[in-house]
Amino acid sequence: MHIGRARDETAGTMFIDPKVLAKIDNLELLARTVVEGFINGLHRSPNLGASMDFAEHRAYMPGDDLRRIDWRLFGRSDRYFVKEFEADTNTNLLILLDISASMGFASGAVSKLQYAKFLASCLAYFSSRQRDRVGLVTFADAIVDYVPPAAKHLNIVLQTIARATPQGQGSLDAPLNQVAEHARRRQIVVLISDLYDEPERIVRAVARLRNRGNDLIVLHVLDPAELDLPFDDAANFEDMETGEAIPVVPGLLRDQYRTLVADHTATLARLMREERIDYALFNTSQPLDHALFAYLADRQRLSRTR
């Protein structure tokens, strides 16, 4: 399959346009496309070199590390075999995916939910490649689907992500509270949501997970139209979750709206930082691999300093 690539502002790096990703139905293929791309871009994965257990032998191929040749077997069979090892799976990755109705909004080719699905898939695939156990929770105002973290649950996770559709009103309190109560061991928790709530309430909800010793990452997904309010015509704006409508003249409100949104994201970032929660804002018009690359690079840089 030919995959189109859009040139981003970042010099020298090719990133994949979300519109192109939207055409890939298979989330695993999508995740591989994205992840392989940015891994190549990183050159060195920060997680390489973890301890390994023997899994199987395979025939030596030119380019394989000579240190990994099983010489004993060579002695018995006069052939070169390489030892394959399973990575240690000492970390769980739990993805909390918000599928409330507001996530269905799209001003371009990709809705917020689609973008969030790409993110979740890429992270799941990426973690799976690192032999982490991957789990998934989809939720609106309550948990919709739950896939417990496991080393072989990647396919189930990807399928569950693919199946998710926008529904219901969004709320973080109940689902996150429920996840916090059932999480028995420390894990990396990734929350992907548009975070339409008061920043304090959001932080309070996610802080419960953080307080249980989890490593928490909050990925805030917003559509560019939510950030800029670019509409011209006066119209009734209808809340996608509640159905409530109010008359709006965008031209008159635009500046105040942008200020409010900017304040909201800034407050979230500040409060998250104070709670030692990783926070990143994703604009659905940005290339996904670029966003992930930037975020993961940032996270790696931060982890060295922490």
Partner 1 sequence: MSLTFLAPLFLLGILAVAVPVIVHLVNRERRNAVAFPSLMFLRRVPFRSVRRQRIRHWLLFAMRTLALILLAAAFARPFLDRGDRNATAAGAGPRELVVLLDRSYSMGYGDRWTRATAAAERALAGLSGADRATLVLFDDEAVAAAGPTGDAAILRAALQKARPGASATRYAPALSVAQQLVERAERPRREIVVISDFQRAGWDGQELPRLPGGTSLSAEDVGDTAVANVLVTGVDVTRDARDGVDRAIVAARLARSGPRPVDDARVILELNGREVEAKRVSLPARGATSVTFASVPVPDATTRGSVRLSTSASDDRLATDNIFHFVLARAQVVSVLIIESPNTPAARSVFLPRALGIGDRPTFRVVQRRSDRVTPADVDEARVVILQGVGMPGGAVGDRIRTLVRDGGGLVVALGEQNGGRALAGASEMLPGTIGEIVDRSTERGGSLGALDRGHPALETFRGARSGDFTSARYLRYRAFTPAANDAILARFDDGTVALAERRVGRGRVLVFGSTLDGYWNDLPVQPVFLPLVQSLVRHAAGWTPERPWETVGQVLALSSPAATSRTPSIAVSPSGERTRWSAGDSVRSLRLREQGFYEIRDADAVTARRIVAVNVDAAESELGAFAPDELVRAVSPGSDAPLSASTTSTLSAAEREQRQTLWWYILVAAILLLAAESIPSNRLSRTARQDAALAVGRIDHA
- Contact positions vs partner 1 (CB under 8 A): 102-103, 105-108, 112, 194, 196, 223, 225-226, 230-242, 244-249, 252-253, 256-257, 260-261, 264
* DSSP code, position 22: T
The residue count for the chain: 306
Nearer to partner 1, 188 or 221 (CB): 221
Contact 277, 218 (CB under 8 A): yes
Token readout for 266 is 């800034």
Contact 271, 215 (CB under 8 A): no
Nearer to partner 1, 258 or 273 (CB): 258
- Of 123, 101, 127, 95, nearest to 113 (Cα)? 101
- Decide: helix, strand or coil at residue 306: coil
Q: Any bridge partners for residue 222, and if so which?
A: 283
**What does residue 25 show for φ and ψ, rounded to 5 degrees?**
-75, -35
* DSSP code, position 110: S
Give me the least distance between CB of 216 and partner 1, in Å please. Answer: 23
Nearer to partner 1, 143 or 240 (CB): 240
Nearer to partner 1, 112 or 290 (CB): 112
Contact 75, 158 (CB under 8 A): no
Nearer to partner 1, 208 or 264 (CB): 264
Residue with tokens 């072989």: 152
The Cβ of residue 2 has, within 10 Å, a number of other Cβ atoms equal to 5
Give me the least distance between CB of 19 and partner 1, in Å please. Answer: 12
Nearer to partner 1, 260 or 302 (CB): 260
User: What is the distance between the alpha carbons of residues 54 and 52, in angstroms, rounded to a whole number?
Assistant: 7
